[in-house]
């Protein structure tokens, strides 16, 4: 199984809503990542987890809250988002200290 | 600040020809340089990586070249096929204590394969 599964695939939320994005992998990877990608732009790193501990936070606003409850799961909790937060949110995983990352298909988020 | 970028936003290649995609980087402290392919509606797919202590690495139909003197990375695709049409990103990063797992992507090149 070399798959990273992200749910939901599409999400529309209001600026006062609270929602969560989920990411799951069963490859035994101990590094997991959240990226944000706008149309026709490269993915931008948001967070990195290493062995379930947050190792990188790229100065992401607090309305995005990551969580890694176990080695297979990664969540991104969303609260009070702005329309400019609309984007494709990508989750990835890799073996620790291995740059070969596996990406999910992403969650297409629209904030209205 | 440090950045990774690409010289060409779009590359049109005839089927069967070789493709060369270029990338300039500025962070000489990166341990790894990576190429990803992203097809429409999908997440990026790893193609190949090269460590900073190497200058060439070959995979299946692909070769990555690293020139640390001029901070330049390239991806060569042999005998380009229609399925190679996608956006190609270079990325750089590593596992130093204060930047563990910090991989940042360049701007991307759209490769269009024509019959």
Question: What are B's interface residues with A at a Cβ cutoff of 8 A?
Answer: 32, 34, 41-46, 49, 89, 93, 95, 99-108
B106 Cα to chain A: minimum distance (Å): 6
pLDDT of B6 > 80? The answer is no
Q: How confident is the model at residue A1 (pLDDT cuts 50, 70, 90)?
A: low
Which residues from A are below 8 Å from B107, CB to CB? 41-42
Token output for B17 = 């020809």
Residue B5: predicted pLDDT: 54
Average pLDDT of the residues in B72-91: 97
Separation between Cα atoms, residue A104 and residue B96, nearest integer Å: 25
Which residues from A are below 8 Å from B9, CB to CB? none
The verdict on a CB contact (< 8 Å) between A104 and B104 is no
Average pLDDT of the residues in B102-106: 93
Q: How many CB atoms lie within 10 A of CB A20?
A: 14
Let me know: does B43 contact B60? Beta carbons within 8 Å.
Answer: no
Residue B82: predicted pLDDT: 97
The verdict on a CB contact (< 8 Å) between A43 and B89 is yes
* Closest C-alpha among A15, A22, A26, A18 to residue A107: A22
Q: How confident is the model at residue B1 (pLDDT cuts 50, 70, 90)?
A: very low
Q: How confident is the model at residue B95 (pLDDT cuts 50, 70, 90)?
A: confident
Judge whether A112 is closer than 8 Å to chain B, CB to CB. no
* Closest C-alpha among A58, A54, A55, A4 to residue A29: A4
The verdict on a CB contact (< 8 Å) between A42 and B45 is no
Separation between Cα atoms, residue B111 and residue B12, nearest integer Å: 6
Q: What is the DSSP string of A12-70?
A: EE-TT-EEEEEEEE-S---EEEEEEE-TTS--EEEEEEETTEEEEE-S--TTEEEEEEE
């Amino acid at each position: 199984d070399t798959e990273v599964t992200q749910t939901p695939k599409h999400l529309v939320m209001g600026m006062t809503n609270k929602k969560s994005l989920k990411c799951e992998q069963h490859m035994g990877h101990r590094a997991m990542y959240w990226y944000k990608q706008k149309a026709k732009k490269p993915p931008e790193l948001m967070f990195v987890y290493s062995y379930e501990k947050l190792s990188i936070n790229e100065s992401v606003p607090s309305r995005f809250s990551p969580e890694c409850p176990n080695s297979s799961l990664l969540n991104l909790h969303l609260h009070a988002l702005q329309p400019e937060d609309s984007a494709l949110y990508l989750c990835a995983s890799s073996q620790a200290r291995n740059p070969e990352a596996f990406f999910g298909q992403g969650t297409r988020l629209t904030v209205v | 600040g440090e950045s990774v970028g690409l010289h060409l936003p779009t590359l049109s290649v005839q089927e069967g020809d070789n493709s060369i995609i270029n990338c300039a980087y500025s962070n000489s402290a990166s341990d790894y340089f990576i190429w990803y392919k992203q097809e429409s509606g999908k997440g990026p797919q790893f193609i190949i990586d090269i460590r900073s202590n190497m200058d060439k690495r070959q995979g299946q139909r692909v070769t990555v070249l690293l020139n640390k003197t001029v901070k330049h990375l390239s991806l060569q695709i042999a005998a380009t096929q229609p399925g190679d049409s996608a956006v190609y990103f270079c990325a750089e990063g590593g596992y130093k204590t204060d930047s563990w797992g910090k991989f940042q992507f360049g701007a991307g090149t759209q490769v269009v394969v024509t019959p």
